[in-house]
């Protein structure tokens, strides 16, 4: 069974001013997809805290880290900057697929800075903070996530 970790990036949720609905919804989606996943970790919109949360999960050997929040254009939206500094390489097609899926319901999806990348053997996927945006984005890429994890683990034989 693959292991996943969800990191909610939200000043409001971190300070108890807002319920973390997106993180909880993503945990549910991952559980239904047979991932072993704990409750979401909640951190503020700060590069250092985001980096620490993701790197700790990578060090634990999880197969997939999903971050939710901080992908917009606001001054506190720093998730892409944090992830760009720690990934070995970006997987651009996943970001494109997430924006394409979101654009089917709202034109605002095209300004999302959702992205995906790899650190060591861990796939990192960053989705928007809204529950609908988070779910649409992760659902859009779930059909290939299992295969991506297999490839990262060296299972490169194609049937």
What digits encode the pLDDT tens for the residues 46-103? 999 999 999 999 999 999 999 999 999 999 999 999 999 999 999 999 999 999 999 9
Q: Which domains does the chain have, with CATH numbers?
A: 3-152 (3.40.980.10)
Give the 3-state secondary structure of residue 91. Answer: coil
103-126 average pLDDT score: 96
| pLDDT tens profile 82-94 | 999 999 999 999 9
Q: How confident is the model at residue 158 (pLDDT cuts 50, 70, 90)?
A: low
Closest Cα partner for 24 from 36, 12, 42?
42
Higher pLDDT, 156 or 83: 83
Q: Is pLDDT of 33 > 80?
A: yes
Distances in whole angstroms, Cα of residue 113 to Cα of each of 3, 33, 95, 141, 159: 25, 25, 8, 15, 34
């Amino acid at each position: 069974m693959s292991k996943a970790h969800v990191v909610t990036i939200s000043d409001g949720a971190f300070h108890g001013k807002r319920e973390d609905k997106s993180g909880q919804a993503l945990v549910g989606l991952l559980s239904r997809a047979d991932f072993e996943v704990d409750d979401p970790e909640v951190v503020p919109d700060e590069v250092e805290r985001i980096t620490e949360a993701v790197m700790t999960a990578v060090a634990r050997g999880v197969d997939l880290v999903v971050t939710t929040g901080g992908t917009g254009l606001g001054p506190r939206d720093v998730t892409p900057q944090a992830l760009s500094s720690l990934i070995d390489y970006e997987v651009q097609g996943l970001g494109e697929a997430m924006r394409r899926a979101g654009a089917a319901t709202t034109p605002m999806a095209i300004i999302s800075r959702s992205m995906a990348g790899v650190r060591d053997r861990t796939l990192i996927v960053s989705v928007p903070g809204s529950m609908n945006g988070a779910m649409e984005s992760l659902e859009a890429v779930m059909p290939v996530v299992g295969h991506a994890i297999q490839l990262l683990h060296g299972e490169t034989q194609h049937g």
